[in-house]
Amino acid sequence: MQLWEPILIVMVYAYLCVVIVYLLLENRETSTTFSWLLVFIFMPFVGIVLYFLFGRGIKKKVKKKLIRQDLVHRLSDTHDQLIKQQEKAIEALQHQYASSENKKLIRLLYKNSDSILTRLNTLQVFFSGKEKFEALIDDLKNAKDYIHMEYFIWKADNLTAERNT
């Protein structure tokens, strides 16, 4: 065995590890990732050139980045105003709920959440699915302008048949 053979094997394994990590970090569809991985394995040097020419979607990335930067710039004033309102709302809540546990909870939510604190909301806790879906159907029937819903399993069943009537 020649001296260069183990070095070549180590370089191939290092290449494959770097390629796999890079492809996985791009967070693409599984079929696309697997296809590019096969290209990199069976055509190592040509695959890199092909990937940088066709696989990266440079125009899309640049366009998305520009849109995101523009959005951040346009919303910075609004965001600053919301943060000032948030700080006033936190002070009001801390006066309203003066216990140290409540103050700690309010601070924790403010510091660890990316959401803006809102007030004058209501909350209803349901202890059974039947109760929850009855209230949901009533809310859907009483909606005036818009209905915004996010459910992850929505299929044709008795509930959706009732909603459609």
In a domain, 124, yes or no: no
Q: Is residue 76 part of a domain?
A: yes
| Residue 42 lies inside a defined structural domain of this protein | yes
Higher pLDDT, 154 or 60: 154
Q: Which tokens is 151 given?
A: 């459910």
Q: Average of pLDDT values for 92-117? A: 76
Any domain includes 119: no
Q: Are residues 71 and 47 in the same domain?
A: no
In this prediction the pTM is 0.34
Residue 29 belongs to domain spanning = 4-56
Number of domains in the chain: 3
Mean pLDDT of the region 22-43:
83
One domain, residues 101 and 75: yes
Q: Give the residue, 55 or 119, on which the prediction is more confident.
A: 55
118 in any annotated domain: no
Do 95 and 134 belong to one domain?
no
H helices of the chain, where?
A: 4-25, 30-42, 44-50, 58-96, 100-112, 129-142, 158-164
**Is the residue at 159 inside a domain?**
yes
CA–CA separation, 57 and 52 (whole Å): 9
* Residue 72 is assigned to a structural domain of this protein: yes
Q: Are residues 70 and 46 in the same domain?
A: no
Gap between the Cα atoms of 59 and 56, Å rounded: 9
Clarify whether residues 95 and 139 are in a common domain: no
Of 26-40, 55-69, 94-108, give the lowest mean pLDDT range. 55-69
CA distances 93 to 82, 98, 106, Å, are 16, 8, 8
Residues 97 and 138 both lie in one domain: no
Is 32 within a domain?
A: yes
Residue with the larger pLDDT of the pair 63 and 54: 54
Q: Return the percentage of the chain with pLDDT > 90, whole number.
A: 0
Residues 48 and 75 in one domain: no
Tell me the pLDDT of the chain averaged across its residues: 77
Digit-coded pLDDT (tens) for 34-50: 888 888 888 877 888 88
